[in-house]
Structure 1
Amino acid sequence: MNKPIKRFLKMRFQTKVEHEDHTDSYEFTARGELFHKGSQDYLRFEEALSKDETVQTTMKWDGRELMLIRQGVILMRQGFVAGQQTLGRYVTPEASWETVATTEKVLVQWPQGKSRGRIEIKYRFTLQGQDTGKHQVRLTLEEDKGNE
């Protein structure tokens, strides 16, 4: 059995949510690791929600579906397939909700050599039947040679 080769990345994570008459934006930078296992690629990184709370985030890409898995104070599992509606779940210590993503666009380009990579997802999201708006997520990925 082959051990997956890990590549370390620097990333910039940006999200924009348009809901009714306002837009919210959120951005952070993080270090992560990219590896291939079986027929899928995995991107893993840690997101700091507050000083004391973090979430381990994994994005799994099989060439068609991008699966977002968050584990920590928030548990979330949501798939994204361009042109389709997918069911998921969002769990906090207080409650658990069903989610639905109606995905317009999924773009995954891994960094090669000196080039940057990116992940883009555009989707409409509902949480327990309530529309949360139109979401746009963009990750800019760059190999982190200093962390090998």
Structure 2
Amino acid sequence: MKNTIKRYVKLRFQTKINHDDQTDSYEFTTRGQLFHKGSQDYLRFEEDLSDDHSVQTTMKWDGRELMLIRQGSILMRQGFIVGEETLGRYVTPDASWETKAMTEKLSVQWPSGKNRGRIKLVYKFMLQGQETGTHEVRLTLEEDTTK
């Protein structure tokens, strides 16, 4: 994706968390914007957590690191680099925790023409030193031509 024009996308966000013998899943669909600035690509969308709480999510991709930035009722900043442990932070109105991610897989493909784009991310996550399991995140992106 080389142009600086904002493109609107429809996206499907799916996450699975495997911890011990349990699997939790979470999924939603929304619309977002995709744009290029400097040497990085950005995907921005809003996630509704409840009727009165939402989070603005930005994913920033430089070709090596995917940076996840969440702002709203939850603040979070976490980088993901394949084969590396990265530090981050997760903040709620009540507390702030250090996070660590060990990224196992990361693939980013932006939509072009009639092709869908995909982001796939698999990582082990720790919150304040406690392992929360293996997280598998999949985003499917499709250009939204209705806007």
TM-score, normalisation: structure 1:
0.97
The corresponding residue for 2:129 is 129
The corresponding residue for 1:76 is 76
Deviation at 1:4, TM superposition (A): 2.9
Say which SS state the counterpart of residue 146 (structure 2) adopts.
helix
Find out whether 1:25 has 2:25 as its counterpart.
yes
What is the aligned-residue RMSD (CA, Å)? 0.8
Say which SS state the counterpart of residue 49 (structure 1) adopts.
strand
Aligned length: 145
- C-alpha separation between the residues in 1 aligned to 2:144 and 2:13? 16
Residue type of the partner of 2:39? S
Residue type of the partner of 1:76? M
Q: How does 1:48-59 map to 2 (within 5 A)?
A: 48-59=48-59
- C-alpha separation between the residues in 1 aligned to 2:120 and 2:4? 24
The corresponding residue for 2:35 is 35
- C-alpha separation between the residues in 1 aligned to 2:52 and 2:75? 16
The corresponding residue for 1:109 is 109
Gaps of 5+ in 1: none
Residue type of the partner of 1:79? G
- C-alpha separation between the residues in 1 aligned to 2:92 and 2:100? 17
Say which SS state the counterpart of residue 103 (structure 1) adopts.
strand
Gaps of 5+ in 2: none
Find out whether 1:95 has 2:95 as its counterpart.
yes
- C-alpha separation between the residues in 2 aligned to 1:99 and 1:4? 32
Deviation at 1:7, TM superposition (A): 0.4
Kindly provide the CA deviation profile for residues 73-110 of structure 1, in whole angstroms up to 9, marking residues without a partner as x.
00000000011100000000000000000000110000
Kindly provide the CA deviation profile for residues 53-79 of structure 1, in whole angstroms up to 9, marking residues without a partner as x.
000000000000000000000000000
- C-alpha separation between the residues in 1 aligned to 2:47 and 2:40? 22
TM-score, normalisation: structure 2:
0.97
Say which SS state the counterpart of residue 118 (structure 1) adopts.
strand
The corresponding residue for 1:7 is 7
